[in-house]
Amino acid sequence: MISNRKTLSSATLSCACIALALITMLNCNSRAQEIGRKSDYVIVQSAATAADEEWQEVATALRSKHADLNPRALTYSEDVAAVIDELRDIHPRYTCFLAPHEEVGKEFVAAVHKLSRVLDDDPYTDTRWGILTGYDAANALRIASADKPLVVEKVLSGTEIAMDRVVEGYWYSELQAKLYVEKKRRGEAREMEGESDSTKALVDAINDYQPDLIVTSGHATPADWQIGYSYRNGAFKSNAGKMWGVDLENGIHKLDSDNPKVYLPIGNCLMGDIPSADAMALAWMNSVGVHQMIGYTVPTWFGYAGWGMLDYFLEQPGRYTMNEAFIANQQALMHALESGVGKKDGLEFDKSVLAFYGDPAWEARMAPGKLNYEQRLEIDGDEYSFSIIPNMGAQSFEPVNTNGSQRGWRPIIQFLPERIGAVELLAGEDLNPVISDDFILVPNPRECDPEREYKVVFRLKRKD
C-alpha cells in the first residue's frame, strides 16, 4: 500500500517516489479543481472602475493569468467594505483590489486592511491581498500582464542590509557619507568608498545594473526620497509618473529602468501615500519597472510593519514570496498585539498603514540562500507535523541584522497548502503555537537548544 504522506520541504527521486508523485499529482489536480470551483482569486473593484473599458482590460489580464484559480469579480458602489458578505462567503486565498490611483488614498488602504481581517472570527489577515493600481490603466496593465515569476538575485539598497543573504548587490549608507558595500556574485561583501553625494551612483545602478529588488529608508514625502538620513545627500523626485535624481549641485539624473522589480521602502515615511498623480509610488511603478511594492501611507515612527519585511523576505531567502512576507509580518504584528508582546500603541499605529501594491498572486522571491533554520511541514492524512530545525546552533533564532526599527525576534510562520478547519493539538503545546485556517505561527523561542526537537503536531477534527 502506498502511503499518502507528503513532505513539503524537499523532493527526492526514486521509482517509488515517481509513483507517489503521480498519485499526489492526481490528488492535487482534484483539489485544485475543487478550489477553482470555489474561486481562490477575487478582483474587488468600484462600479466606476468596472465601467471603465481600459481598466477592464486590466481585469481581463488578471482573469486570464489566474484562470486556474477561477477568478471572480466583486463590485461596490462607494465603500469597499460593502463586499464583506460576498468576500466572506468566498474566502479566497488571494484578493486583488483593482483601483485607479484616484481611488487609492490612505483611508482606502486602511479599509482594505480592516476588511482583510474580518472574513472569519480570528484577528489575523484572512486573504493574501494587494492593491493593483498605476499611473494609468496602461501602467496597471503591464503589471497585471507579468506572468513570469521573479527570482531576486541583484539587490540595490539605500540602507544597510544582510549581504550574506543575497546573491549579489550594493548597499549605500544613509548614516555615513561615502560608505557603500559591494558584493559580487560568489564573492564576499566589501566596504568601499564612493562619492559623498551618491545620487548619480544610485541612478546609474537602477538604470544600468538593473536590480531585481530596491530597498530604501530615511526621510521621504509622497513626492521625494532624501537619500542621506544623517548627512547631506541628493534626492529622488517624481512628477507625472516620472522620476529623476537631483544631486547637491542641482544636477538632474533621469531614471528609466523597465526590468521587472520589487521595492521595499522599509523605513520611509509616506512612500505608499498617493495623494496625486505626482506621487513617488506611481513613478516607481510607471517608470522604474516596479511590479510590487510596500509603502507607509503616513509618517512612520514605530517601524514594525515596514522593517519586518526584511526579516521575512530578504533574511529568509527563498522561503516566502514578497506578498507572503507581507502577510507573514502582518500576522506577526497581530500576534504581538494579541499576546501583549511589544509596544501596544506602536503596533496599533502600524497595523493598517502599510500598503501593498501589485498583484498579490504574482510570485517574486529571493533566490534561495542562507537560512538560520529550516522549516518542514509533513502531512499524513489528517495529521500535520511542523518541524523547525536550527542551522546556526545557539544563534539560530537571533536577529539576522539589527539595522532599522523593531528588528528581529519575529515568530516562525509556515503557510498551509490549503485551508483547514478545527484541530486537535497532539504535540508542541510548550511552543505556544497558533494554528489558523491557513498558517501555523510559532513564537520565536529566543534561546535555541540545538539538541532539542522543535515540533508541532496536530490533527484535523472530524466533522460530526
DSSP 366-435: EPS---SEEEEEEEETTEEEEEEEESSGGGTTS-S---SSS-S-PPEEEE-SS----EEEEE-GGG--EE
Contact, 347 vs 331, CB < 8 A? no
CA distance 160 to 14: 44
Element containing residue 237 per DSSP (H, E) = strand 235-239
Residue 335 sits in the same domain as residue 247:
yes
Asked if the structure places residue 349 within a domain, the reply is no
Q: Is 348 part of a structural domain of the chain?
A: no
What confidence category does residue 38 fall into, taking pLDDT thresholds of 50, 70 and 90? confident
pLDDT at 246: 98
For residues 197 and 337, membership in a common domain is answered with yes
- State which H helix or E strand residue 114 sits in: helix 106-116
Contact 385, 343 (CB under 8 A): no
Cell 533574511 belongs to which residue?
Answer: 315
In this predicted structure, the answer to whether residue 15 has a pLDDT above a threshold of 80 is: no
- Claim to verify: residue 334 and residue 423 sit in the same structural domain: no
Tell me, what's the pLDDT at 251? 98
Rounded to 5 degrees, φ, ψ at 325 are -65, -40
Same domain, 138 and 171: no
**Domain assignment of residue 41, given as a range:** 37-145
Are 65 and 147 contacting, i.e. CB atoms less than 8 angstroms apart?
Answer: yes
Residue 370: pLDDT above 60?
yes
Q: Is residue 155 assigned to a domain?
A: yes
pTM for the structure as a whole: 0.92
Confidence of residue 37 (pLDDT cuts 50, 70, 90): low
> Is 330 a domain residue?
yes
Considering only residues 34 and 443, tell me which one the structure prediction assigns the higher pLDDT.
Answer: 443
- My answer on whether 25 and 97 are in the same domain is no
CA distances to 223, 259, 270, 403 from 301, in Å: 19, 32, 11, 15
pLDDT at residue number 463 = 76
Domain membership flag for residue 185: yes
Residues 332 and 269 in one domain: yes
Mean pLDDT, rounded, of the chain: 93
- How many folded domains does the chain comprise? 4
* Same domain as 454, residue 318: no
100 and 168 fall within a common domain: no
Domain match, 319 and 453 both = no
Provide the 8-state DSSP code for 277.
T
DSSP 30-80: HHHHHHHHH-SEEEEEEHHHHT-HHHHHHHHHHHHHTGGG--EEEEESS-G
- pLDDT above 50 (res 253): yes
Q: What is the mean pLDDT of residues 259-272?
A: 98
Task: For residues 68 and 112, state if they share a domain.
Answer: yes
